[in-house]
Structure 1
Amino acid sequence: MEGEMHNAEVQGPCNEHQTTTEEKIASQCEVGQQIYLRAEINQLHHQIVQSATERIIQFCSKVLQQLIDSDVVHCQVLFLASTSERVHQIKNVMQALGGGHGVKIHACVDGNSIEEDKHILSAGVHLVVGTPSRVSDLFRTQNQALHSDHVRMFVLDEPDEMLSKGFDRQIHDILPRLPGNVEVVALYPTMPEDALEIARKLMNKSVTMNLWQSIVFW
């Protein structure tokens, strides 16, 4: 498996400068600077949030322009995020960008009615955004509510967060259900040094070679 990891692409506007907030604090923390330090931390947090929002808008715009065929009312992009809040954020961005062009987007999260999810999916959507556990459940429901025949892109938003929350089992369940030619995208606000190791843990040995060759870090 380790040998296959050389086939993964590293593309897109990833920030290679890995200075963390903690390192920034440590470099400036001196007696009497608490007020200035708090202002600096607030500014850093604002920059991180703003950057993450801009990146998701850029990525969602690219997906809608290049991948979605509005005439094909089947799930073409499957987007996973680790929290319900993040799922709805991504869904709202997609809706704002593509809703006026007839693109149907559905958010599937834990806690909502799975019967309602099944009803909406059966009516047809172009893009599904969801938490790993709910998406996995929808694949496993009787009569399979979610179908992957037309999925062209599988997006993992911040895979390191998914791994830390224990979602690797659900992702291992979802991946084999996807078409062999699907493009896999790992979406990070900044590129962690162990990105390939994280991808290896999430994708596991059952994943076919062509999926490994198609993974893109963005």
Structure 2
Amino acid sequence: MLRRGQSGYSLIELLVSTSISLIVIAIAVTMLLHSQRLSAAHAKELMLLQSTNSVLQMMKLDLYRAGHGGVLGESVRLSGAAQTYYVKHSEHYTLLAFAYLSGSLGSETAYTNVVYQRQSESKEVLRVCEKKLPRAMSALEAENFTTHFGNTCNTVFDSNLIVVNDFALDSEPLTGVTHTSSLLNIELSTYLRFAPEVSKTLAISIKQRNW
């Protein structure tokens, strides 16, 4: 009888021990899955942050060149534009355009003309258009870039992955003792197409250089 009692008691202990082990394993698995979800969410946020920041840094480098190659102390600007950075808002688009001296085109001096544009009919993408010409383009040509120069535009993000939610531009005039300049503020908002809850808004400010 003693042996049977001891055997029964050991079996109960085994069942309790097994139950506790299963609970511990379940908790561990739950924590692991939660950790993996957090890691996946963090990876998505990091990817969007890096992509959005890379585009803004690319724009910043481009904008630092704007106006280079002018004469008599004046920066290169688009024909018809009051400032080196040409900013235009309308119901159809938000546009930023500029030009700078960039070597030669055959036997002529070459200017790189650049347009960043978000259009109302394709507001989920931000495009950059570029064209080398023997002159700086006009403001009207910048507003109708593809009409005048063909479609030499590319989206700055992979539109299958990243959606542009907003592209805001604001130009503030700065008047100094000898030169008139401007401060350009750019705000770019994005989110992931496959995870809209993951979003990012970054901003930069750039002072126009007087070449």
Tell me if TM exceeds 0.5. no
TM value normalised by structure 2: 0.31
Structure with higher Rg: it is: 2
User: Which one has a larger percent strand, Structure 1 or Structure 2?
Assistant: 2
TM value normalised by structure 1: 0.30
User: Which one has a larger percent helix, Structure 1 or Structure 2?
Assistant: 1
